[in-house]
Amino acid sequence: MTRILAMVALGATDPPDWPRIAAAFGVDPAALALDPDSTPPAAATLPIPGGVLGFMFTPAPMPWDDLEWAVKAAWHWPAAEAELRAHQAHVVVFAESDVLPALEINLQVVGGVASVLATRPDAVAVFNPHASIVIEPARYAAEARNASREALPILLWLGLHLVPDSVGLSAYSTGMDVFGLLNLEVHDTQWRPPDLLNLVASMAHHEISSGVQMSAGQRVALSERQRIEIQHLPSRYGDGAVSCHLVLGLAAF
């Protein structure tokens, strides 16, 4: 059974209001199954096809070792370290199902996290451990509001990282493996940062929505003159695991 999760960092140790969270998720609070071994209940679940959407509250911060790399990589959020160093508690949101694909399970998690955020004004961050990213609550809630199978919330699921190189910029993703796909990389470009990030995000959206890994040797047209060739090679980053390299070229097909 596939399990996917995220964590909501909180500024206070007050226990969650599970019925309000269920209502924010759009289901009858009567569907909640509450932890019978703690008072007030420290955990709750809601049914989803083939499994559950679960919530677990811990009145303590997440370990800093789990957050440190994600905080350092949060180029889009300069206040991330200050916010997360001050958090006092967290809620783990998870979804598991033996019938839903990874994309649908991830959408359930997004809905669950958004429901926690809607009931906790003291939320300070969301941590996605699969991609090693931290996200501001307001940004997460805004992305979640429009999330669907057609409009995937890529920025809630993946880390998109820029790296200066000898030519200009390279970029790579983190988090694709939770979908059963290789992470993406593109190297040694002179592209502007927004264009390079958009390229990686759009290729990720295509793969995740189709559920199909681009194959080595495949060619993809970006325009009449610009193409990409796909190569599966060891990553330049991290532990060197095989990743999907997007090799830019100008030759026509």
Check residue 151 and give its pLDDT. 92
Residues 81 and 136 in one domain: yes
Q: Which residues contact 235 (CB under 8 A, 6 or more apart)?
A: 172, 183, 185, 241, 242, 243
What DSSP string describes 80-142? HHHHHHT--EEEEEEEEESSS-HHHHHHHHHHHHHHHHHH-TTEEEEEETTTTEEE-HHHHHH
Could you tell me if 134 and 85 are in contact, meaning their C-beta atoms sit under 8 angstroms apart? no
Instruction: Give me the CATH number covering residue 55.
Output: 3.30.1400
Burial 17-38 (b: 16+ CB within 10 A, else e): ebeebbebbebeeeebeebeee
Check residue 159 and give its pLDDT. 97
Beta bridge partners of 163: 170
Q: Which residues contact 33 (CB under 8 A, 6 or more apart)?
A: 44, 45, 46, 52
Could you tell me if 171 and 162 are in contact, meaning their C-beta atoms sit under 8 angstroms apart? yes
Residues 12 and 85 in one domain: yes
Residues 20 and 95 in one domain: yes
Answer whether 0.85 is exceeded by the pTM.
Answer: yes
Strands of 242-249's sheet, edge to edge? 159-164, 169-174, 184-189, 242-249, 227-234, 219-221
Residues 139 and 205 in one domain: no
Among 150, 182, 216, which residue terminates a domain?
150
Among 150, 185, 211, which residue terminates a domain?
150
Q: Which residues contact 29 (CB under 8 A, 6 or more apart)?
A: 18, 19, 22, 23
Residues 219 and 130 in one domain: no
CA-only gyration radius of the chain, Å: 19
Distance between CA atoms of residues 96 and 102, nearest Å: 9
Check residue 39 and give its pLDDT. 87
Whether the link from the prior residue into 16 is cis, omega within 30° of 0, is: no
Residues 112 and 138 in one domain: yes
Along the 253 residues of the chain, how does pLDDT read in single tens digits?
779 999 999 999 999 999 999 999 999 999 999 988 888 889 999 999 999 999 999 999 999 999 999 999 998 899 999 999 999 999 999 999 999 999 999 999 999 999 999 999 999 999 999 999 999 999 999 999 999 999 999 999 999 999 998 888 999 999 999 999 999 999 999 999 999 999 999 999 999 999 999 999 999 887 777 789 999 999 998 788 999 999 987 554 4
Residues 137 and 195 in one domain: no
Could you tell me if 241 and 233 are in contact, meaning their C-beta atoms sit under 8 angstroms apart? no
Count of Cβ atoms closer than 10 Å to residue 118 Cβ: 17
Domain count, the chain: 2
Check residue 226 and give its pLDDT. 79
Residues 143 and 165 in one domain: no
Residues 163 and 141 in one domain: no
Range of the domain at 33: 2-150
Residues 164 and 144 in one domain: no
Q: What is the DSSP letter of 15?
A: P
The H or E element containing residue 173 is strand 169-174
Query: Exposed, middle or buried, 14 (CB in 10 Å: 0-12/13-18/19+)?
Result: middle
Could you tell me if 227 and 218 are in contact, meaning their C-beta atoms sit under 8 angstroms apart? no
Among 150, 170, 198, which residue terminates a domain?
150
Distance between CA atoms of residues 148 and 14, nearest Å: 31
Residues 164 and 126 in one domain: no
Residues 143 and 162 in one domain: no
